[in-house]
Structure 1
Amino acid sequence: MGKPSLFSGRSTSRHRIRAARELNVSHSTVLRRIEQFETILGSKLFKKLQRGYELTAAGEQLYENGQSIEINIDQLLSQAEGHHDVTQGKLRISQPEIGILNIYPLYAEFKRQHPDITLEIQSTMAAHNLAQQEVDIVLRFSEQPPELLVGRLIGTVKAKAYASKHYLKQLPKNHTSKDYDWIQWQRPKSVPASNWVKDNILNPRIVFRTPHMPDVVSAILSGIGVGFMSSHEAAQHKSLVELFDGEIIATYPLWMLTHRDLRNSERVTTFMRFMAENLHLD
């Protein structure tokens, strides 16, 4: 539950209109209902200021209590959904960025087999919170998944160094790794592949940096330089050449997980079973 819409100084009118739109009523009706609610409670929830509306102490307390109530309601609804023995409805899935793992062909096959299930896919390296019901299933890189989650280890994604055939043709005939232009994947946390470059290449020439793996893949395919990507993704591009004798630079265990409250959901178990049988990484 977000901060009350009639809150935020100079942008109060905009938030009031947005709240009215979400409730499908006029903004004057929103104000009137707040006043009615305050009358029932016998307590003021908002202070009207020149710059807009501000929560009172009672309003702040109600907001904090409401957050915990909403989380409990979401969990109860999730538990109830988890006991529905149906293979239809919405299934929210969080997966790694495209360029690390392309499983859309499997999504297509799953949809052919289960046309009544709607897939909502979020491609991100951020960790969605299953405990707060942000998604139903996550495909997550982890050495040890959280205790509240259940699932299985799908396999290991291997990172290797690649360059395009076009890029390599432009290098000197007797080139070495010192001649490479490097493409770097910037992540908030330390990336083993980036550390490998520092440890093995003297004064590496970094020519391209990006925080997004799809951009790394595009840069390698475009002939900008050498970079690291998953062998699973690289296998789909015939124009790429595996470097350093196919040395595995880093490995990332991939888990498929759901919240334990959803372990009896037919939608969830059907999808997880399908992926376990059809997604092959090793």
Structure 2
Amino acid sequence: MHIPSDWNDLRVVLAVFREGSLSGAARALGVRHSTVFRRLDAIEKKMGVRLFERFRDGYAPTPAGETAAASAARLEDEVLTLERKLSGQDLKPAGTVRVTTTDTLSAILMRHLVSMRVSHPEIRLEIVTSNTVADLTRREADVAIRPTPAPSDLLVGRRVADIAHAVYGSDAYLTGYGDKDLSAHDWIGLDDTLASTVIARWMRENIRMARISCRVDALPALRDAADAGFGLAVLPCYVGDSAPGLRRFAAKALSEPRSAVWLLTHDDLKHTARIRAFMDFIAKALASERNLLEGRRPRALR
């Protein structure tokens, strides 16, 4: 049996193993479905062993495939560690910084990135907007700007600001129904994909018996549903106070839930010049938004 010495061959095997299909592996590798098919076929012929059984609903590894994928995963860890350590030796603030943030924080971030570009013209930015937490250990991003009560111990960075929350409704809804007790209102709920968020936990603890008029799977949709008049919604103040059609149910932000904006990177990258320059600049920029993030800019109440 010929053992593959090409890291790219092992990447294909590992992608098919993790995704369980050619289409999933193709997305992960950023290539065409047909390319993965040809590459895997060539790898199996070169090795002289079948690595995956083909089924209608996907690809299942053979014992040889499991062994190859396990070795590929170990090698991947070594390669990624080497990349991070070498990147950490950069001395000049130049090159690409890949930043991941959420669909709600990206609007705040974008207000400051032009100034970042002016200050550091040799730094190229790649912005990934996703509510899925990127794996910084695997270099899915260099920097993460995330709302979270507590980040992973594997990452380093700084807490930029607290995030306050409040209850919001549209002008029309609050005019007609604003004098009810919270539990008597219609509410906009979150689906299971957001069940672990601080908003979902607050709703479970405080309005268990409330009427849920609809459920959504993203905070922009939660804001839009409240704006349309479906009922009340708990939103981060930087989302609710920025929406022209929404007003707070009460003047003060809620004492709970609370979260925070964290600016994070991997320990191996923290001394890289371009990462340090980006994080220093954005930390100051986001600190200038602290009043909005911490709920000190409410719109006029109903």
Q: TM-score, normalised by structure 1?
A: 0.77
Task: Quote the Cα distance in structure 1 between the aligned partners of 2:204 and 2:69.
Answer: 49
2:80 equivalent in structure 1: 74
SS in 1 for 2:140: coil
Q: Compared with structure 1, are the counterparts of its residues 85 and 201 closer, same or farther at alpha carbon in structure 2 (3 Å cutoff)?
A: same
Aligned to 1:41: none
Please give the alpha-carbon distance, in whole angstroms, between the structure 1 residues aligned to 2:20 and 2:144. Answer: 38
Structure 2 residue 181 is the aligned partner of structure 1 residue 182: no
Write the mapping of 1:1-20 to structure 2, written as runs, cut at 5 A: 1-3=11-13, 18=32
- C-alpha displacement of 1:169: 2.7
Tell me the number of residue pairs that the alignment of Structure 1 and Structure 2 aligns: 269
The question of 1:252 aligning with 2:262 is answered no
**Cross-structure match for 1:63:** 69
- One-letter amino acid of the counterpart of residue 3, structure 1: V
Structure 1 pair 218/235, CA: closer, same or farther in 2 (3 Å)?
Answer: same
Change (3 A) 1:50 1:89: closer
Matches within 5 A, 1:1-282: 1-3=11-13, 18=32, 21=35, 27=38, 31=41, 35=45, 37-38=46-47, 44-46=48-50, 57-98=63-104, 102-171=108-177, 175-177=180-182, 179-186=184-191, 187-197=193-203, 199-201=205-207, 203-248=209-254, 249-280=256-287, 281=290, 282=294
**Equivalents in 2 of 1:92, 1:72: separation in Å?**
21
User: Cα deviation per residue 1:147-201 (whole Å; 9 max; x = unaligned)?
Assistant: 33211111111111111213223437x5553552211233554444445445555
**Could you tell me how far apart the structure 2 residues matched to 1:49 and 1:228 are?**
48
Distance 2:153 2:109 in 1: 26
Give distance in 2, aligned partners of 1:6 and 1:193.
36
Give the superposition deviation at 1:230. 1.1
Q: Matched residue of 1:72: which SS?
A: helix
Distance 1:6 1:252 in 2: 37
Give the secondary structure class of the aligned counterpart of 2:153.
Answer: coil
| Alignment-derived partner of residue 4 in structure 2 | none
Q: 1:251 to 1:148 in 2, by over 3 A?
A: same
Percentage identity across paired residues of the two chains: 22
- Of 110-119 and 145-154, more deviation after overlay is shown by 110-119
Q: For residues 106-138 of structure 1, give each alpha carbon's deviation from its aligned partner in whole angstroms, at most 9, with x where no partner exists.
A: 223323433433322233333222222221111
Q: Which moved more, 1:251-260 or 1:198-207?
A: 198-207
In structure 2, what is the Cα distance between the partners aligned to 1:279 and 1:267? Answer: 18
Amino acid in the other structure paired with 2:190: W
User: In the TM superposition, what is the alpha-carbon distance from 1:96 to its structure 2 partner?
Assistant: 2.6
Matched AA of 1:21: T
SS at match of 2:164: strand
Give how far 1:228 is off.
1.1
Bigger radius of gyration among the two: 1
Q: Which amino acid aligns with 2:186?
A: D
The aligned amino acid for 1:254 is V
CA contact (8 A) 2:160 2:286 kept: yes
| Change over 3 Å in CA distance of 1:169–1:72 after alignment to 2 | same
CA contact (8 A) 1:185 1:211 kept: yes
SS in 2 for 1:244: coil
With CA pairs under 8 Å and 6+ residues apart, which has the higher RCO, 1 or 2?
1
Deviations 1:58-88 (A, max 9, x none): 4542332122112211220121112112333
Structure 1 regions of 5+ residues with no counterpart?
39-43
Specify whether residues 166 and 125 from structure 1 end up closer, same or farther in structure 2 by C-alpha distance, changes over 3 A only: same
TM-score by length of 2: 0.73
Distance 1:153 1:9 in 2: 38
